[in-house]
């Protein structure tokens, strides 16, 4: 993948995460509390500013009560 494609993938993932979070009624701080990830980092993920690890994806999915693959359905 090219750098531009990588950035677009991060933005798509983050946008989908934000959509699911809002649909579930979570604020950034609530999700942060549920998955033990700093709320500012969740915001950065949602904006596509940082990459995430597999373990972070699993933590987010558990907190949102979705399967990890749901976070990739954009």
Q: What is the DSSP letter of 68?
A: G
Q: Give yes or no for a contact between 71 and 57, defined as CB atoms under 8 angstroms apart.
A: yes
What are the domain boundaries of the chain? 3-67
pLDDT tens digit sequence for 54-72 = 999 999 999 999 999 999 9
| Domain boundaries 3-67, CATH class | mainly alpha
Percent of all residues in the chain with a pLDDT value above 90, rounded to a whole number: 92
pLDDT band at residue 1 using 50, 70 and 90 as cut-offs: low
Provide the CA 4 distance to its chain's centre, in angstroms.
Answer: 19
Provide the angle, in degrees to the nearest 10, between the axes of the packed helices 28-35 and 39-46.
110
Q: What is the mean pLDDT of residues 1-23?
A: 92
pLDDT band at residue 29 using 50, 70 and 90 as cut-offs: very high
- What contacts 47, CB < 8 A, 6 or more positions away? 11, 14
What is the number of alpha carbons within 13 Å of residue 69 lying toward its C-beta?
0
């Amino acid at each position: 993948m090219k750098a531009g494609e990588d950035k677009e993938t991060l933005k798509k993932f983050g946008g989908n995460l934000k959509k699911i979070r809002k649909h579930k009624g979570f604020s950034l701080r609530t999700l942060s509390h549920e998955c033990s990830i700093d709320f500012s980092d969740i915001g950065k993920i949602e904006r596509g500013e940082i990459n995430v690890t597999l373990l972070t994806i699993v933590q987010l999915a558990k907190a949102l009560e979705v399967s990890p693959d749901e976070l990739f359905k954009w």
